[in-house]
Homo-oligomer: A and B are copies of this chain.
């Protein structure tokens, strides 16, 4: 008497994919965790996503810093060393061949008694590595469409968005709202009515030549691509500031874009069904994209000899 639920074929959905569970490399269809894992019961986990280019793990050290910071923010102990994790990530990435690879590292608080407070200190480490198909070129050529979501971003006093955790329903709901409206993604406001971030990306606007992105204090994740684009702005003397802004101010900007580790800089050319500027990727966005690409290329060149 098993339940009759249509299940997707994991093997089919995840070609050229491997999973590392606590050091063991497994095919996706055999990759399981205990139902007593706190990641499963409570979303009690932290994670990072990065990519490889020419077999170089992009901004690996920054992602590991942030993983440990996320764990700190939710009082989770990570019981293995950074060096051990790097070894495991490299082993996993080496297990497939692909031009670009997606790498997701998840650390949970492990299994324990069913209690909000863990009754023992443990972890489960899961690393997913898969071939990452090229992002659609139209994202970069035409730009993508956003809405301002009706879902309010998790407040930092409730669950700090700067902890990249397995509690993702807030963003799932905002993303579903975007999909229902047939657009690419949502940006959320905080309880003060200020723009925070997209569901898996940071948002930027340009008005009269001034580049603005919300500060961490608005209740956002400290994006790594965000940090790199801030560096680009500073190195190239752009007029840049971290400041809060409202949906109305965003609607009146000249250019808008998002930043993400898997997507880089993507122009946003429509917001709430209204063109941003001329409705095409703007001049400053294109300049920043090129400068960010140069930084990325330099990183790959400087780090490729480290291998993985």
Contact = CB atoms under 8 A, between A and B. Distances in A.
B116 A168 contact: yes
Interface string A5-24: 11110100110000101111
**Total copies of this chain within the assembly:** 2
A19 B19 CA distance: 25
Contacts of A79: 5-6
Contact of A168 (B28, B33, B43): B43
Interface in A167-182: 167-173, 175-176, 179
Contact of A5 (B14, B122, B171): B122
A74 B173 contact: yes
A7 B111 contact: yes
A159 interface: yes
A3 B36 contact: no
A80 B256 CA distance: 44
A3 B88 contact: yes
Interface string A127-162: 010000000000000000000001111110111000
Interface of A: 1-8, 10, 13-14, 19, 21-24, 28, 31-37, 39-44, 74-75, 79-80, 84, 87-88, 91, 104, 106, 110-114, 116-117, 119-126, 128, 150-155, 157-159, 165-173, 175-176, 179, 191, 199-200
